[in-house]
Amino acid sequence: MKNNDQEIKSFIKEKYGEIARVNSSGCCGAGSSCCNVNPDTAALLIGYSQNELNLIPEGSNMGLGCGNPQAIAGLKEGETVLDLGSGAGFDCFLASKAVGKSGRVIGVDMTREMVEKAIQLAAEMQYNNVEFRLGEIENIPVEDNLVDVIMSNCVINLSPDKPGVFKEAFRVLKKGGRLAISDIVATAALPEDIKNDLALHASCIAGAELIENIESMLQDAGFKEIRITPADQSRELIRDWAPGSNVQDFVVSASIEASKL
């Protein structure tokens, strides 16, 4: 039976709330750590450096990413950065170092427990240029034309309304602003049994959209200079998110870049 949008969102919110409450980790909520390794090792596997891991507060990396949006964001001092689905603040804390005291970082997440954890870490470590807001990425709690860069790491695939997310992203970006997203995308049509599996939704698989559809959504939202770059080597990592289901035949991690001109 096909799940409706609210069922999907409620399931995902509860799953990620549970992860925050028990301070556990898992590939996009799969319930066990990525490739049976700890979050730091998982982060190294998806493109973060040891130096980056040394910069962030302990507890902010929960092993929930599928790439490193910092690597494509090209963050500059003084920029305003928005992280969609910021979790416990991992990418926000890295971004705060890049934009400096004159910059600003805003994290938005729909899971109250994640936002509370991120706020606590920011206060403890005195990240004065970072703030976290409770909200949904389909209705971003940020004013128009504010943001220089939007980052997101393995989150937009979770949304049942991806066109709405990209339209909201376009709204809050300044002219000349850019997207720097790491996400799971589909390279082939997903079988119905995968698409209707709530656990696989929370595991960043069942909600993955075909690359050509994502490109069309971005174009419809107004974006230009769209680049979607799949990382085929990520299939080995993804295989361990749902052992025995062969999901790696259908989805892959990708970098998604676009500009508001």
pLDDT digits 0-9 by tens, 195-214:
999 999 999 999 999 999 99
Radius of gyration of the chain (CA): 17
Q: Tell me the torsion sign for CA atoms 41, 185, 255, 108.
A: negative
Considering only CA atoms, which of 97, 130, 101 is closest in space to residue 115? 130
d(CA 124, CA 126) in angstroms, rounded, equals 6
Q: What is the pTM of this model?
A: 0.93
Token pair listed for 92: 């926000």
Contact between 122 and 141 (Cβ < 8 Å): no
Domain spans, the chain: 5-259
Mean of the per-residue pLDDT values of the chain: 92
Residue 36, pLDDT score: 45
Give the model's pLDDT for residue 191. 93
Q: Is the pLDDT of residue 1 over 70?
A: no
CB-CB contact of 81 with 153 (8 Å):
no
Task: Look at residue 212 in the predicted model and tell me its pLDDT.
Answer: 98
pLDDT in tens, 137-187: 999 999 999 999 999 999 999 999 999 999 999 999 999 999 999 999 999
Residue 119: its pLDDT value, please?
Answer: 98
**Going by DSSP bridges, is the β-strand pair 173-186/224-231 parallel, antiparallel, or unpaired?**
unpaired
- CB atoms under 10 Å from CB of 83, counted, come to 28
Domain 5-259 carries which CATH code?
3.40.50.150
Report the alpha-carbon distance of residue 64 to residue 60 in Å, rounded.
Answer: 10
pLDDT over 60 at 24, yes or no: no
> In the 3-class helix/strand/coil scheme, how is the chain assigned residue by residue?
CCCCHHHHHHHHHHHHHHHHHHCCCCHHHCCCCHHHCCHHHHHHHCCCCHHHHHHCCCCCCCCCCCCCCHHHHCCCCCCEEEEECCCCCHHHHHHHHHHCCCCEEEEEECCHHHHHHHHHHHHHCCCCCEEEEECECCECCCCCCCEEEEEEECCHHHCCCHHHHHHHHHHHEEEEEEEEEEEEEECCCCCHHHHCCHHHHHCCCCCCCEHHHHHHHHHHHCCEEEEEEEECCHHHHHHCCCCCCCHHHCEEEEEEEEECC
Strands 251-259 and 173-186: antiparallel
Q: Please, are residues 152 and 183 in contact by the beta-carbon 8 Å criterion?
A: yes
